[in-house]
A and B are shown apart, each in its own frame.
Chain A
Amino acid sequence: MAELTLIEAVNQAFAYEMRDDKDVVLLGEDVGVNGGVFRATDGLIDEFGSDRVVDTPLAESVIVGMGIGMAAQGLKPIVELQFMGFIYPAVDQIINHAARLRNRTRGRLTCPMVIRAPFGGGIHAPEHHSESTEALFAHMPGVRVVIPSSPARAYGLLLAAIRDPDPVIFLEPKRVYRLGKQDIEDNGEALPLDSCFVLRDGIDVTLVSWGASIKETLEAATELSQLGIDAEVIDVATISPLDIDTILDSVTRTGRCVIVHEAARSFGAGAEIAAQLASEGITSLLAPVKRVTGFDTVMPLYRQEDDYLPGVSRVVEAVKQSMEYR
Chain B
Amino acid sequence: MQDSEFNIETIEALDTEGHLQRPLPEGLADRDKLVDLYQLMVLSRVFDRAAINLQRTGAMGTYPSCEGQEAIGTGIGFAMRDDDVLVPYYRDVATQIHRDVLMEEILLYWGGDERGQNYQRQSQDFPVCIPIATQSCHAVGVAYAIKYRKQDRAVVTTCGDGATSKGDFYESINIAGAMGLPVVFVVNNNQWAISVPLEKQTAARTIAQKAFAAGIKGIRVDGNDPIAVYAVMIEALERARHDHQPTLVEALSYRLSDHTTADDATRYRDAQEYDEARAIEPLIRFKRFLQNEYDWSDADDKALYDDCDDRVKKASEVYQATAGQAAGEFFDHMFAELPTDLARQKKAWLDAVKHRG
Which chain A residues have a beta carbon within 8 Å of chain B's beta carbons? Answer: 25, 51, 54, 56-57, 59, 61-62, 64-75, 77, 89, 92-93, 96-97, 102-110, 141-142, 144, 164-166, 194, 241-245
Which residues of A lie under 8 Å from residue B87 when comparing CB positions?
Answer: 69
Q: What is the interface of chain B mostly: helix, strand, loop, or mixed?
A: helix
CA distance A146 to B202 in the complex (A): 42
Give chain A residues whose Cβ lies under 8 Å from the Cβ of B139.
69
Q: Are B340 and A66 in contact (CB under 8 A)?
A: no
Please report the C-alpha to C-alpha distance between residue A102 and residue B145 in the assembled complex, in whole angstroms: 19
Instruction: Confirm or deny: B131 has a beta carbon within 8 angstroms of a beta carbon on chain A.
Output: yes
Bound form: Cα–Cα A105–B123 in Å: 10
* Pick from A65, A89, A104, A105: contact of B141, CB under 8 Å: A65
The 6 closest A-B pairs by CB, nearest first: A69-B141, A65-B137, A73-B145, A62-B171, A241-B339, A66-B141
A89 x B167 contact (CB < 8 A):
yes
* A290 to B: closest C-beta gap in Å: 23
| Complex CA–CA separation, A109 to B87 (angstroms) | 12
Structural contact, A102 and B115, CB atoms closer than 8 A: no
Q: How far is the CA of A72 from the CA of B179 in the complex (A)?
A: 19
The one of A25, A62, A165 that contacts B168, using a Cβ cutoff of 8 Å: A62
Question: In whole angstroms, what is the CA distance A62 to B178 when docked?
Answer: 13
B145 touches A68 (CB 8 A): no
Contact size class for B? 35 or more
Q: Which residues from chain B contact A56 at a C-beta distance below 8 Å? A: 175
Q: Is there contact, CB below 8 Å, between B141 and A73?
A: yes
CB pair B137–A69 under 8 Å, yes or no, is yes
**Which of B127, B143, B335 is in CB contact (< 8 Å) with A104?**
B127
B341 and A241: CB pair below 8 A?
A: yes
CA distance A68 to B138 in the complex (A): 6
* Beta-carbon contact of B333 and A65 below 8 Å: no
The answer to whether A71 and B141 touch (CB under 8 A), given A96-B131, A241-B341, is: yes
Q: Which of chain B's residues have a CB closer than 8 A to the CB of A109?
A: 126-127
Residues on A with C-beta less than 8 A from B137 are 61-62, 64-66, 68-69, 93
CB pairs A–B below 8 angstroms (30 shown) = A54-B179, A61-B168, A62-B140, A62-B172, A62-B175, A65-B138, A65-B140, A67-B141, A68-B137, A69-B144, A69-B145, A70-B145, A72-B138, A73-B146, A75-B148, A92-B131, A92-B168, A103-B333, A104-B114, A104-B117, A104-B127, A106-B114, A108-B119, A109-B127, A164-B336, A166-B335, A194-B339, A194-B340, A241-B342, A245-B340
A57-B171 CB under 8 A given contacts A65-B134, A72-B141, A73-B146: yes
Query: Which B-chain residue is minimally distant from A106 (CB atoms)?
Result: B118
User: Which chain A positions have C-beta within 8 A of B179?
Assistant: 54
Within 8 A of A (CB), among B130-162: 131, 134, 136-146, 148
A69-B143, A72-B141, A75-B148 as given contacts; A61 in contact with B334, CB under 8 Å: no
| Inter-chain contact A96/B134, CB cutoff 8 Å | yes
Contact A243 B127 (CB under 8 A): no
Nearest residue (CB) in A for B333 is A103
Does B69 touch A at the CB level, under 8 Å?
no
Task: Say whether, besides A69-B141, A72-B142, A102 and B340 are in contact (CB < 8 Å).
Answer: no
CA distance A102 to B338 in the complex (A): 13
**B148 to A, closest residue via Cβ:** A51
In whole angstroms, how far apart are the Cα atoms of A144 and B336 in the complex?
12
Q: Tell me if B174 is interfacial: C-beta within 8 Å of chain A.
A: yes
The distance in angstroms between the C-alpha atoms of A75 and B134, with both chains bound, is 20
B123: chain A residues within 8 A (beta carbon): 108
A263 to chain B, nearest CB (A): 21
Q: Are A105 and B334 also in contact (CB < 8 A) when A69-B145, A72-B126 are?
A: no
Contact of A73 among B142, B167, B334 (CB under 8 A): B142
Shortest Cβ distance from residue A140 to the other chain B in the assembled complex, whole angstroms: 11
Chain B 108-119 near chain A by CB (<8 Å), digits 1 or 0:
000000110111
Q: Do B174 and A69 touch across chains, with their CB atoms under 8 A apart? A: no
Least CB distance from A164 to B in Å reads 8
Instruction: Please measure, in the bound complex, the distance between the C-alpha atom of A244 and the C-alpha atom of B127, giving whole angstroms.
Output: 35
Q: What's the Cα separation between A62 and B246 when bound, in Å?
A: 16
Q: Restricting to B338-357, which residues have a CB under 8 Å from any CB of A?
A: 339-342
Q: Are B333 and A102 in contact (CB under 8 A)?
A: yes
With A25-B148, A69-B142 as given contacts, are A57 and B333 in contact (CB-CB < 8 Å)?
A: no
